[in-house]
Amino acid sequence: MRRAYDLVIIGAGAAGSEAAFAVADGGKTSILLVEANHFGGTCTNHGCVPTKALVKAGKVAQAMRTAAKYGLEAVEPRFDWSKVIGRADEVRDHMLRHGPEPFREAGVEVAYPSRARLLGEHRLQVDGRELEARAVLLACGLEPLIPPIPGLEESGYLDNQTALELEALPRRLAVLGAGPIGSEFAQIFARFGVEVTVLEAGERMLPPEEPESGEALRQAFGAEGITVRTAAKLERVSLSGAGRRLELAGGSAVEVDSLLVAVGRELQGDALGLDAAGVEWTPKGVGGGHRRWPPLHPHRHGNGRNRGP
Ligand SMILES: Cc1cc2nc3c(=O)[nH]c(=O)nc-3n(C[C@H](O)[C@H](O)[C@H](O)COP(=O)(O)OP(=O)(O)OC[C@H]3O[C@@H](n4cnc5c(N)ncnc54)[C@H](O)[C@@H]3O)c2cc1C
């Protein structure tokens, strides 16, 4: 017989973890939390937390360089990148409070490391096991969007995860995309001495924001020696010696050692089996005709985390 749950939560990132604690009631409601990679999801492991630790390190480096404006002697910081990235890893590890145990203590069953795939509206497969669920919470986050640019796959690139695993810094780095993630990485690496070029296909930095933000950022980047090229559409990538040659629309090219792709994030609905479950989706997310489920706890309101079993 198939195992049946009241609720299956796919993903133990910020959303799935909070939801699991909010709904948990010591086991009276049968909940399964499925996590394929790391508890804490993107934010803790490859997003907000380690990048903010590096932003802080970069601020210190920049403060040393610009110390003269505070009446101190300006110095060019000397550093060992493995120690800088090592501290970011420590901050991340400190934030990784949640392994499976607190969820189990709250009465939530945990499948980890396990990947979930929807087989139908109420049916899932987890590690080859077929399950039933009265409700499914999709808290699976987004993955880096990698555009189909000729030569990109073959030449290799960094994304937000692999950029945080670099053991040594490249001398020249191109960052594709001037959104918040690309801009953050561009400034971090530039403040550690990497020659950074930001390539943005749109007319300005931070494209969805008001133009003033993009302009302010462009000026700040210019003052720090970061090259920003807007209306720069990458058309082809090829290996060039140990580095990469980036050919842009219009005929110009940029030579770099590494390329970091940060052009957005996408929902991988095929891998999740969203079509089998009849969920409307696009790479931007779930939308439209997804079903409204009846409440799991019809009489309970608010965050149930502190309620005992
Ligand atoms: C570099 C970077 C910096 C960022 N900085 C900030 C910031 O400063 N401030 C901010 O607010 N936001 C920031 N974000 C965004 C933030 O990380 C996300 O908004 C947040 O992680 C979304 O949480 P989530 O729980 O929805 O998804 P995620 O954190 O992505 O968690 C989803 C989880 O689901 C798991 N999963 C996926 N598919 C399956 C499956 N089929 N089976 C089982 N498990 C699965 C994944 O392994 C993952 O652990 C940043 C993102 C990046 C990439």
CA dihedral 160, 166, 169, 171 (to 10 degrees): -60
Architecture in CATH for domain 144-264: 3-Layer(bba) Sandwich (3.50)
* pLDDT (mean) for 29-57: 97
Does 98 contact ligand 1 (Cβ within 6 A)? Answer: no
CA of 160 to the centre of ligand 1 (A): 11
Helix, strand, or coil (residue 165) = helix
Does 214 contact ligand 1 (Cβ within 6 A)? Answer: no
* pLDDT (mean) for 49-66: 98
- Please check whether residue 186 is in contact with residue 51, taking contact to mean a CB–CB distance below 8 angstroms: no
pLDDT tens profile 210-242: 999 999 999 999 999 999 999 999 999 999 999
In 3-state terms the chain splits into helix, strand, coil percentages (rounded to 5) of 30, 25, 45
Does 254 contact ligand 1 (Cβ within 6 A)? Answer: no
- Please check whether residue 236 is in contact with residue 187, taking contact to mean a CB–CB distance below 8 angstroms: no
> Does the pLDDT at position 292 exceed 60?
no
- Please check whether residue 205 is in contact with residue 255, taking contact to mean a CB–CB distance below 8 angstroms: no
Q: Which atom of ligand 1 is nearest to the CA of 271?
A: 41
* pLDDT (mean) for 243-248: 98
In this chain, the answer to whether the domains covering 1-40+96-142+267-309 and 144-264 adopt an identical fold is yes
pLDDT score, position 296: 58
pLDDT score, position 293: 52
> 52 CB contacts (<8 Å, ≥6 apart)?
91
pLDDT score, position 295: 56
pLDDT score, position 289: 47
Task: Identify the CATH number of the domain defined by range 1-40+96-142+267-309.
Answer: 3.50.50.60
> Does the pLDDT at position 290 exceed 90?
no
Does 10 contact ligand 1 (Cβ within 6 A)? Answer: yes
* pLDDT (mean) for 69-90: 97
Q: Which atom of ligand 1 is nearest to the CA of 142?
A: 30
* pLDDT (mean) for 248-275: 97
CA of 297 to the centre of ligand 1 (A): 27
Please state, in angstroms and rounded to a whole number, the distance separating the CA atoms of residues 190 and 200.
17
Does 119 contact ligand 1 (Cβ within 6 A)? Answer: no
Q: Where residue 95 falls among pLDDT bands split at 50, 70, 90? A: confident
> Does the pLDDT at position 307 exceed 80?
no
* pLDDT (mean) for 253-275: 97
pLDDT score, position 301: 43
* pLDDT (mean) for 71-95: 96
Q: Where residue 294 falls among pLDDT bands split at 50, 70, 90? A: low
Q: What is the DSSP string of 109-163?
A: EEETT--EEE-SSSEEEETTEEEEEEEEEE----EE-----TTHHHH--B-TTGG
Q: Where residue 243 falls among pLDDT bands split at 50, 70, 90? A: very high
What are the extents of the domains in the chain?
Answer: 1-40+96-142+267-309, 144-264
* pLDDT (mean) for 95-109: 89
pLDDT score, position 303: 38
Q: Which atom of ligand 1 is nearest to the CA of 34?
A: 43
- Please check whether residue 46 is in contact with residue 164, taking contact to mean a CB–CB distance below 8 angstroms: yes
Q: Where residue 208 falls among pLDDT bands split at 50, 70, 90? A: confident
CA of 48 to the centre of ligand 1 (A): 9
If you search the block for the tokens 């995860």, which residue do you land on? 161
* pLDDT (mean) for 148-155: 98
